[in-house]
A and B are shown apart, each in its own frame.
Chain A
């Protein structure tokens, strides 16, 4: 066995120990009467075990039933607020909501912490400290706008934001109003181009894949390129962020890999329920394969069997993505994402399981509208 392998095994073991300890502390906090939120304290009575005494390590979370995101719909939203956070300024962020009642997550500090953790993974060469940011993505009740702004701020920059309402975009698609959709996209891109060409020293940006593509095409129409606007670092996300799409971006829209074009793009995977899973660097040599790693121990992603959601599949095998969130203000013990993918090996930077090839879960894919904005 090589030294590297021993080092990796040690790192994996240490990460596992840290996760077990973190799990214990998190469960204690969420189920203790002095700190827990009304939802989980009430739920405790329905459980056939005592989380305070019977959850000692991460694997003990399997005792919980799967988390149902339906629990997040409707009020009172205060039932999710931790008792010791009652007097803290509180945000509510929503997901979904094109029709019906959206799912809500109450947040005090999590979004800032998540993005601070994410910030540590960004290469300074392409995401320079002090550089300003452009946020080109969904705003409104989502956390993304505030989160990206915080990311810019912790890196010493200022974030410019473009307004985008994804619920209206989904409605346009469902109504078949494709011309309106194109016009709305153009409206967003026009604003982005205006900001990018107004000497604001913008170096970094968040954009959804569709909007990054439109922005690049919009800039080309005006006789310029993304590189010429000064952008060097992009982070993005979504299941439509496929290897082929990444290759298209890198080879055709950016003008080559980072060392040639000067533009580095990193995919991320996440949603309102979890933090931000980072990607291993994506390279042409690995055929633009995208592998995500959750910000353990605050969140864990596992690839589990389609039939047995408590059993992880073998490395390289396909399964459903299962998410666990373990922060001091939010507890999600095992939520089945609407995605599937392949289980990836730990590596030095992230010595825990990853997931690659993320795509909509095949059983519900046909009914899902993805990559709409």
Chain B
């Protein structure tokens, strides 16, 4: 069994407390992971400024090249992991075994991470909207329009409390090292794999190991990380979002409540968009914040719900190594049953119909895990509780709602796909502050273009734009230099 230590600025630390990462289906231990304690994190963070000092010895371009090299290593090579090593295939098997996500989805997430690592120049261009990256490094510089600008780094490191059950979120923190900031990560208890493998690939690609710390552990570790890092991100539930709302040091990623809006001008052709709707709900086992949990239309909603149910309802729980496996397992005892009970409670409400009812029982209980097969609900109006719910399996409410009420009724929406050509309504959607990413046209909610600035823009979070005045001769020297 692999013994995985905590990593304190590149140095392994074997704790007296460990947690076993086990195979969700067999219960067999895969790795024994050292648990840090909060105090270690607080204490280590006193040296956080060293990470930026070390990274500033490299140019951003150099770091981008190293990260691109790391992508190849991450994707293909056998890399050191704790007391042993891990091949790329083992990574996929390990991640699937501990998170319950089918192997092909793990591989797809792996490729997504590699895409971001390989295309870092373009991604940083998009995040900075074309800024000369040396300005981020130096703190000031000349913009292309001939004005001195300053972006001041707000932290030497980014902290992140990573989730256990969503291996797809790592792309959000991958651009940090090229921005010359260190990484302080608390890996999820069931998903230590990505953080450790990225750290290993970075080191082998020539990025100093002293700029990364990995602290597996309990809640006290997460708390200490969020308190002691000037900038950090956390992935959690709506409760977590509420807890850190308004805290400028913490960026919270939680449920997405992503939605598809069918405009009155297109809804009669809804069958043309069925593939978009099905993909948006079902892809990645329905586990992502960018999966669609609500489809809003003013008419045909019963037919839409039945058509989606016809496609998703019969889907069975398959073994994780099966290439057609589309559902992720709930690996914690009783969780699948409890979540289904919550959904069933909402399905009982007036005006709500379970369109997947004809397709058999939704709960599949195995010896050590459970699955929930897709559920498609029809809601007669947006006031039905179920219309504003999101769950960690393929779930969607098809909500009957007049077009002029849709934007307000949608509430907080991470990705909104509006299928319409109505220019007035597009203007309203564009102005809607409750919708974060907006797709106009039949684009599945899950299809993110990485060359678009995305939610919680990392540059805005890590840097502060400020006034920076210099004498004209200095400006001239700057331009010349």
By the criterion CB–CB under 8 Å, are A248 and B40 in contact? yes
Nearest Cβ in chain B — how far from A218, in angstroms? 11
By the criterion CB–CB under 8 Å, are B15 and A244 in contact? yes
The answer to whether the Cβ of B125 comes within 8 Å of any Cβ in the partner chain is no
Q: Which residues of A contact B42 (CB under 8 A)?
A: 217
The answer to whether the Cβ of B243 comes within 8 Å of any Cβ in the partner chain is yes
Q: Considering the complex, give the chain B residue whose CB is closest to the CB of A209.
A: B39
Q: Considering the complex, give the chain A residue whose CB is closest to the CB of B15.
A: A244
A249 to B242, CA, bound (A): 34
Q: Which residues of B contact A182 (CB under 8 A)?
A: 227
Q: Which residues of A contact B220 (CB under 8 A)?
A: 371
The answer to whether the Cβ of B223 comes within 8 Å of any Cβ in the partner chain is yes
Give chain A interface residues in 216-244, CB to chain B under 8 Å: 217, 220, 242-244
Per-position 1/0 for B272-309, Cβ under 8 A of A: 00000000000000000000000000000000000000
By the criterion CB–CB under 8 Å, are B39 and A242 in contact? no
Per-position 1/0 for A50-76, Cβ under 8 A of B: 000000000000000000000000000
Nearest Cβ in chain B — how far from A344, in angstroms? 17
By the criterion CB–CB under 8 Å, are A252 and B43 in contact? yes
The answer to whether the Cβ of B385 comes within 8 Å of any Cβ in the partner chain is no
Q: Which residues of B contact A245 (CB under 8 A)?
A: 37, 39
Q: Which residues of B contact A248 (CB under 8 A)?
A: 37, 39-40
By the criterion CB–CB under 8 Å, are B43 and A217 in contact? yes
A328 to B323, CA, bound (A): 72
A249 to B35, CA, bound (A): 15
Per-position 1/0 for A169-180, Cβ under 8 A of B: 000000010100
Q: Which residues of B contact A243 (CB under 8 A)?
A: 16-17
Interface size class of A (residues with CB under 8 A): 10 to 19
A213 to B242, CA, bound (A): 29
Pick the residue among A244, A249, A253 that contacts B17 (CB under 8 A).
Answer: A244
Of B17, B35, B39, most buried by chain A (CB within 10 Å of CB) is B39
By the criterion CB–CB under 8 Å, are B16 and A288 in contact? yes
Chain B contact residues, majority secondary structure? helix
A234 to B242, CA, bound (A): 39
By the criterion CB–CB under 8 Å, are A178 and B223 in contact? yes
Q: Considering the complex, give the chain B residue whose CB is closest to the CB of A243.
A: B16
| Tally of contact residues, B, Cβ under 8 A | 15
The answer to whether the Cβ of A81 comes within 8 Å of any Cβ in the partner chain is no
The answer to whether the Cβ of A150 comes within 8 Å of any Cβ in the partner chain is no
Q: Report the tally of A-B residue pairs with Cβ distances under 8 A.
A: 36
A168 to B379, CA, bound (A): 44
A253 to B37, CA, bound (A): 13
The answer to whether the Cβ of A247 comes within 8 Å of any Cβ in the partner chain is yes
Q: Considering the complex, give the chain B residue whose CB is closest to the CB of A246.
A: B16
Q: Considering the complex, give the chain A residue whose CB is closest to the CB of B44.
A: A252
Per-position 1/0 for A244-262, Cβ under 8 A of B: 1101110011000000000
Per-position 1/0 for A117-157, Cβ under 8 A of B: 00000000000000000000000000000000000000000
By the criterion CB–CB under 8 Å, are B39 and A247 in contact? no
Q: Which residues of A contact B15 (CB under 8 A)?
A: 244
A182 to B228, CA, bound (A): 11
Per-position 1/0 for B36-55, Cβ under 8 A of A: 01011011001000000000
The answer to whether the Cβ of A362 comes within 8 Å of any Cβ in the partner chain is no
Q: Considering the complex, give the chain A residue whose CB is closest to the CB of B240.
A: A176
A253 to B35, CA, bound (A): 18
Q: Which residues of A contact B227 (CB under 8 A)?
A: 178, 182
A68 to B310, CA, bound (A): 57
A244 to B16, CA, bound (A): 5
Per-position 1/0 for B7-40, Cβ under 8 A of A: 0000000011100000000000000000101011
Pick the residue among A176, A213, A247 that contacts B16 (CB under 8 A).
Answer: A247
Give chain B interface residues in 98-131, CB to chain A under 8 Å: none
The answer to whether the Cβ of A85 comes within 8 Å of any Cβ in the partner chain is no
Of A176, A220, A249, A371, most buried by chain B (CB within 10 Å of CB) is A176
By the criterion CB–CB under 8 Å, are A213 and B17 in contact? no
Q: Which residues of A contact B43 (CB under 8 A)?
A: 217, 252-253
The answer to whether the Cβ of A187 comes within 8 Å of any Cβ in the partner chain is no
Per-position 1/0 for A286-317, Cβ under 8 A of B: 01100000000000000000000000000000
Q: Which residues of B contact A217 (CB under 8 A)?
A: 39, 42-43
A218 to B40, CA, bound (A): 14
By the criterion CB–CB under 8 Å, are A244 and B37 in contact? yes
Nearest Cβ in chain A — how far from B115, in angstroms? 36
A252 to B46, CA, bound (A): 13
A77 to B227, CA, bound (A): 43
Nearest Cβ in chain B — how far from A362, in angstroms? 13
Nearest Cβ in chain B — how far from A281, in angstroms? 17
Pick the residue among B35, B39, B40, B243 that contacts A176 (CB under 8 A).
Answer: B243
Known: A242-B16, A242-B37, A245-B39; 12 extra A-B contacts, CB below 8 A, are A178-B243, A213-B39, A243-B16, A244-B15, A248-B37, A248-B40, A252-B39, A252-B43, A253-B39, A287-B16, A288-B16, A371-B220
Which A positions have Cβ atoms within 8 angstroms of B?
A: 176, 178, 182, 213, 217, 220, 242-245, 247-249, 252-253, 287-288, 371
Q: Which 7 A-B pairs give the minimum distances between C-beta atoms?
A: A244-B16, A244-B17, A243-B16, A176-B243, A213-B39, A244-B15, A248-B39
Which B positions have Cβ atoms within 8 angstroms of A?
A: 15-17, 35, 37, 39-40, 42-43, 46, 220, 223, 227, 242-243
**What are 7 A-to-B residue pairs whose CB atoms are below 8 Å?**
A178-B227, A213-B39, A217-B42, A242-B17, A244-B17, A247-B16, A253-B39
